[in-house]
Chain A
Amino acid sequence: MGKDSRLILDPLADNNPITIQVLGICSALAITAELEASIVMSISVLFVLGIGNVVISLMRNIIPSKIRIIVQLIVVATLVIIVDLVLKAYAYELSKTLSVFVGLIITNCIIMGRFEAFALANSPYRSFLDGIGNALGYGVILIIVGFFRELLGSGTLLGFPVLGDPIEKTGLYAFGYENNGFMLLSPMALIVVGIIIWIQRNRNKALIED
């Protein structure tokens, strides 16, 4: 049991998919200008990775090794398209919000990376836990980055103005505080992730590269 719980806990910190395994960076940069988008993306990845890992794990003994990458890609793409079509038919409003993420999920290398590294060699139950764990680890970083970028960049959290109104000069803005529009640009996401890595490796010296 202890072994299984590590499958979930490890990716949250010491084996984080973004800061240690270098997987799924593209989406972490693209969509973290807003906290809400980060959360939606994390949940979507949680679903796809959890279910995808189980499917690949169930198929692991019949997938020919020569074309395994194609098979994996097609499994993800099919899963995502099915969900997309069903949402479009029955929950159109929701699908409008999520449609932006469809492409990002299919091209997200965290999904391929976990298929290749874990699900192809492990039982469905353990693969499921691994998928959940990695998606959570990915989500944690996304949410941290999204939190800082939205707070410092537009002075809001989840769309609610928490620092006052920048145009009417209320709250913090009354003291001459200004939003740092720079935080909204994607390069700043790279730098925020860089700082997260710095803090994380300072706390856990074992992770330091030479």
Chain B
Amino acid sequence: MEQRTDKNSYTIIFAIAMVLVVGVILAGLFGFTKPMITQNEEIEKQQNILYAMGINANEGTSANFVSTKEAPALFTENIKEQIVLEVKDGKILSQMTRQEYMDANNGQEPYLIDIKKQKTNAKNGMSRKLPLFVGEKDGKTFYIAPIRGKGLWDAIWGYVALDKDMVVQGAYFDHKGETPGLGANIKQRYFMDDFIGEHLVSESGVFKGITVAKGNADPKNEDKTDNEVDAIAGATITGDGVTAMIKKDLKLYLPYFETLKN
């Protein structure tokens, strides 16, 4: 037995056979599950956007989405418009409505724009497409922007709902692989709710962002204009990641919000 499995030819044949078997199994399973996974991911994005504008099924201290069955209907009902801004070097080059964007992109909905890809485009000196979702609830208008950044282990991302003065009305954060119990707590309600009411720009109109700060002597976050929320103990790098993604990504929308004022 030993001698047979030690031969070089056997090793090579075994390796090839195994690569084929594993490849076929995985590719087959991937192809089979892909439509369902894509659909799940689309619904999740809708749930995230709805959560940020305050349409959710929160109970007690836990953050809950609206159910997957209700999400698509609620999404079309509450999100009135999906604007796509094309920006480069802090200037808006063009602005598209949902219909214009879908006509130009084979019917792809703007909320499915791959933020990561757009970031790479911007890095390579190309223009960047920024989606902005306009939601209406109880007579109030929300502008919901996606953000994306890096935590300790992997990507972190989220959606922030703003009013026209860039005051945060709601936030949703998620992560791919932050440490459970520490960085992973950015998707806990106590952390996300802390952002509500925070101002992104100072009174003089300078963009400040929101800093996830340690020991800011305001654990209940009563001062909403200090541009700071209380950090999660033990999750410094994830917190810095949240700070950075809010600062960098929301700043891009500043020119648009300035046009809203006029």
Contact = CB atoms under 8 A, between A and B. Distances in A.
Direct contact of A and B (CB under 8 A): yes
Nearest to B182: A33
A99 B14 CA distance: 31
A184 B234 CA distance: 6
A64 interface: yes
Contacts of B261: none
Contacts of B182: 33, 184
A61 B177 contact: no
Interface string A13-43: 0000000000000000011111011001000
Given A85-B37, A92-B44, A33 B181 contact: yes
Contact of B33 (A33, A71, A89): A89
Q: Kindly name the residue among A31, A64, A66, A185 whose own CB sees the greatest number of chain B CB atoms within 10 A.
A: A64
B233 A63 contact: no
B220 interface: yes
Contacts of B178: 100
A86 interface: yes
A184 B15 contact: no
Contacts of B203: none
B14 A63 contact: yes
Interface string A138-180: 0000000000011001100000000000010000000000010
The interface residues of chain A, by DSSP majority, are classed as: helix
A71 B181 CA distance: 34
A65 interface: yes
Nearest to B180: A37
Contact of A61 (B1, B25, B26, B234): B1
Question: Which among B18, B30, B36, B37 has the highest number of chain A CB atoms within 10 Å?
Answer: B18
Contacts of B6: 64-66
A100 B36 CA distance: 20
A31 B180 contact: yes
A34 B233 contact: no
B237 to A, nearest CB: 12
Given A64-B11, A67-B11, A150 B33 contact: no
A69 interface: no
A32 B181 CA distance: 8
Nearest to A185: B234
B189 to A, nearest CB: 11
B179 A78 contact: no
B181 A31 contact: yes
A195 interface: no
B14 A64 contact: yes
Contacts of A34: 180-181
Interface in B140-196: 176-182, 184
Contacts of A63: 5, 14
29 contacts: A30-B179, A31-B181, A34-B180, A36-B181, A37-B180, A40-B180, A62-B14, A64-B6, A65-B2, A65-B6, A67-B14, A71-B14, A78-B25, A82-B26, A86-B29, A88-B36, A88-B37, A89-B33, A89-B37, A89-B40, A90-B36, A100-B177, A100-B178, A153-B233, A153-B234, A184-B181, A184-B182, A184-B234, A185-B234
Given A64-B14, A78-B26, A185-B234, 5 more contacts: A86-B29, A99-B176, A100-B176, A100-B180, A184-B181
3 A-B pairs with least C-beta separation: A34-B181, A33-B181, A37-B180
